[in-house]
A and B are shown apart, each in its own frame.
Chain A
Amino acid sequence: MTPDDPKDPAGQHETVPGTSPGASPQGGVVPDSRGEFTPVRTDTPVADPGLPAHQWRPTDVDPKLEKRAERQVAGMFVAAQVFVVLFVVSYFVFDIGGDGDAILGLGASTVTLGLCLGIALLLIGVGIIQWARKLMGDHEISEMRHPARSSDEDRTATLEALRVGTEESGIARRPLIRNTLLGSVGLLGVPAVVLLRDLGPTPGEVATEQPYEGAGLANTVWADGMRVVRDVIGTPIRAADLEIGDLVNATAAALYETNEEGELVLEGTERLIANSKAPVIVVRMEPDEIEDVDGRENWTVDGIIAYSKICTHVGCPISLYERTTHHVLCPCHQSTFDLADGANVVFGPAARALPQLALAVDDEGYLVAQSDFDEPVGPSFWERG
């Protein structure tokens, strides 16, 4: 018998009135000698023993212990206040950022502020727990479940209201009004679509449009003849200076280009965007160790090879390079690329090889790019074929 049994509207689910006598030999209901039905549980074979007798806590029966617990709780709350005051005092006494290793090699201000606030919060919490455990009432109680079904009167009334509404509005009898209303409301979706389309550039525009040099997901600041420079240092790299086994974390010279006043040409957001897409790892290995990739025969200079430093999985910068295996590993999700074999993925979640930067040497012997990358750098995105 479940609470929402239609025969049991009042929720008296312990009793089963109205079933025929003797119908259920295992339990069921049988009339007693006076012809009345006695309530018999049918859902459990064992009668509910009810709650056990309540056992009192020492603090409930002994007023002395009760007083003591009260003092304990109040004491903790008072101690919490003391620590809050100590927090404020140490805030003003200790220099923030000074006394580098005053306490256990840690900053005095950091330690005292943290400890005072932490202990104060802990004392408030412990006090409340102690209060609840020792002093608040802890009588066991049981609360009955109620059926989820509405009463029959409510159901009938609601259905009647709906019927009258349908009848009086005439929506069922006047299909012309109904259909035109549906049409007009449906058409309201169109302005939303038009407005949404103009909220930003389309995916295609984001990928390829270049309002400034190197913008768009498919482009970087690299260009034909741009020098490869050491990242952070900004100096160009002479091809002859690199030895076999060398790894250079490099980037595009455009990032270090300055105008007549010595100020950087690329500034602000444009600089950040360029900086996020331009980095390359340049390594030099034995030329015969490099596996040929079709169409990239002239992209290396005497064993010097450059690949994008941005992982094709989710775009972490990678330079964990093993000289002996020529593998470069991404620290985020362990994607591993073989730089001697077209930077193909040899392990991990990355889906495509690192884009290669075609290298050449300029008149002065410095490494330059032959062009921008021939594919977008970094992780996959919607418009990528």
Chain B
Amino acid sequence: MRLLNRTAGRLSRHRRRPVAGLLVLLLGLFATGTFYAAFAPAQAETTASDAAQVEEGRELFLIGCAFCHGTNGEGVLTESGTQYGPALAGVGAAAVDFQVGTGRMPLVQPGQQAPRKPVIYSQDEIDALGAFVASLGPGPAVPEESEYSVEGLSAEEQEEAVVRGGEIFRTNCTACHNFDGAGGAMPRGGYAPSLKGVEPKYIYEALLTGPQSMPTFSNGNLTPEDKADVIAYLQESEEQPTYGGFGLGSMGPVAEGLFAWVVGIGGLVGFAIWIAAHSTRSLKQKGTTE
């Protein structure tokens, strides 16, 4: 206490000296300069890098995407008036991240289905493309991990999310993607892809943006929590052991019927042929050996 008093007393004595004012002024200026250096230029830099990213994305877009989607993402119509490449204003960065990030875009050729294939852009380039397309019109942004993850929840809440997600999945998704998320056939040669092994981010983005023929499940349709529940269910179902037998791709009666007919009935036919073919006869007459 005495020490504190003495220090305070010394400070207050120094404060009255003329140098003190100058010192405080210098200190204030120094602090302001430091703070400005630390924060203000950083913001300016971000804006500059945003513009640079959009510009980088535009250049990538002109090379890889503009042939079908138009140089400004306005879309290209065929002579008969059908879509060659759809307009991209308003699809948002989420659509770009999904389509390019899963290798669907750029397409090898226009067709009924945009299949998954090896990704050819780096994540930085995809982000740049996304920034450019997002600059064309307001659309859904790439979701944060917290939006589609149930990591933060307690074990009980996670289990609840999985159960709820299963109900939502069976009501809204199984019509096209099969009861186990294994995918299925669609009209005119298309197909709904398998959901197995798909990253949660891409499932969330697909729900949000409705790639190809898929309807959208915007946040006003299925809330982000509902989407996270569906993703939790899908991840849980992938980890489930096939307890009762081989899943045969979870394609239901098609795969199972094929297996039963080819392997089951085929095996029985083979067995019957084997039985009939192995009926050896002896040239000896009965009683000759005895």
Contacts and interface: CB of A to CB of B under 8 A. Distances in A.
Interface of A: 55-58, 60-63, 97, 100-101, 105-107, 110, 129, 133, 230-233, 237-238, 240-243, 245-249, 283, 318-325, 327, 329, 331, 336
A246 B215 contact: yes
Nearest to B140: A243
A330 to B, nearest CB: 9
Interface stretch (B40-48, B56-64, B152-160, B276-284): B276-284
18 contacts: A56-B282, A56-B285, A57-B280, A57-B281, A97-B243, A101-B241, A106-B243, A107-B241, A107-B243, A107-B244, A241-B220, A245-B215, A247-B217, A247-B221, A248-B221, A318-B175, A329-B187, A331-B175
B171 A245 contact: no
B171 A61 contact: no
Contact of A133 (B168, B242, B279): B279
Given A58-B282, A106-B243, A107-B243, A336 B187 contact: yes
Contacts of B287: 61
Contact of B175 (A246, A320, A327): A320
A133 B278 CA distance: 9
Contacts of A325: 187, 213
Contact of A322 (B187, B226, B244): B187
Contacts of A319: 172, 175
Given A62-B289, A232-B167, A323 B216 contact: yes
A324 B220 contact: no
B286 A60 contact: yes
B203 interface: no
B286 A56 contact: yes
Shortest beta-carbon contacts, A-B, top 7: A241-B220, A247-B215, A100-B241, A101-B241, A322-B213, A245-B216, A243-B218
A110 B245 contact: yes
A246 B246 contact: no
Contacts of A233: 168, 226
| Residue of A238, A283, A320, A327 ringed by the most chain B CB atoms within 10 A | A320
B210 A245 contact: yes
Contact of A249 (B171, B219, B244, B288): B171
Interface in B193-249: 210, 212-222, 226, 241-246
A56 B217 contact: no
A62 to B, nearest CB: 6
A96 to B, nearest CB: 10
B220 A238 contact: yes
Q: Dominant SS at the B interface?
A: loop
B220 A323 contact: no
Contacts of B283: 55
Contacts of B186: 320, 322, 329
B51 to A, nearest CB: 29
A58 B289 contact: no
A320 to B, nearest CB: 4
B226 A323 contact: no
B251 interface: no
Given A231-B171, A323-B213, A61 B285 contact: yes
Contacts of B66: none
A55 B281 contact: yes
Nearest to A65: B282
A39 B288 CA distance: 38
Nearest to A245: B216
A255 to B, nearest CB: 13
Contacts of B171: 231-232, 249
B275 interface: yes
Contacts of B220: 238, 240-243, 246
B176 interface: yes
Contacts of B226: 233
A38 to B, nearest CB: 34
Interface in B127-185: 167-168, 170-172, 175-176
Contacts of B216: 243, 245-247, 323
Contacts of A232: 167-168, 170-171
A325 B187 CA distance: 10
A324 B186 CA distance: 13
Among B171, B212, B217, B281, the most chain A Cβ lie within 10 Å of the Cβ of B171
Given A232-B167, A232-B168, A58 B175 contact: no
B118 to A, nearest CB: 26
Contacts of B241: 100-101, 105-107
Contacts of B167: 232
A220 to B, nearest CB: 18
B215 A105 contact: no
Given A231-B171, A238-B220, A249-B171, A323 B215 contact: yes
Given A57-B282, A323-B215, 5 more contacts: A55-B283, A61-B284, A106-B241, A242-B220, A320-B186
A241 B213 CA distance: 21
Contacts of B288: 61
Most buried by B among A240, A242, A318: A242
B218 A246 contact: yes
Contacts of A97: 243
A326 to B, nearest CB: 10
Interface in B257-286: 275, 279-286
A61 B282 contact: yes
B282 A242 contact: no
A322 B214 CA distance: 6
Nearest to B169: A232
A46 to B, nearest CB: 26
A283 B282 contact: no
Contacts of A238: 220
A323 B168 CA distance: 19
B94 to A, nearest CB: 13
A4 B172 CA distance: 70
B252 to A, nearest CB: 11
A57 B279 CA distance: 8
Contacts of A55: 281-283
A327 B213 CA distance: 10
Contacts of A320: 175-176, 186
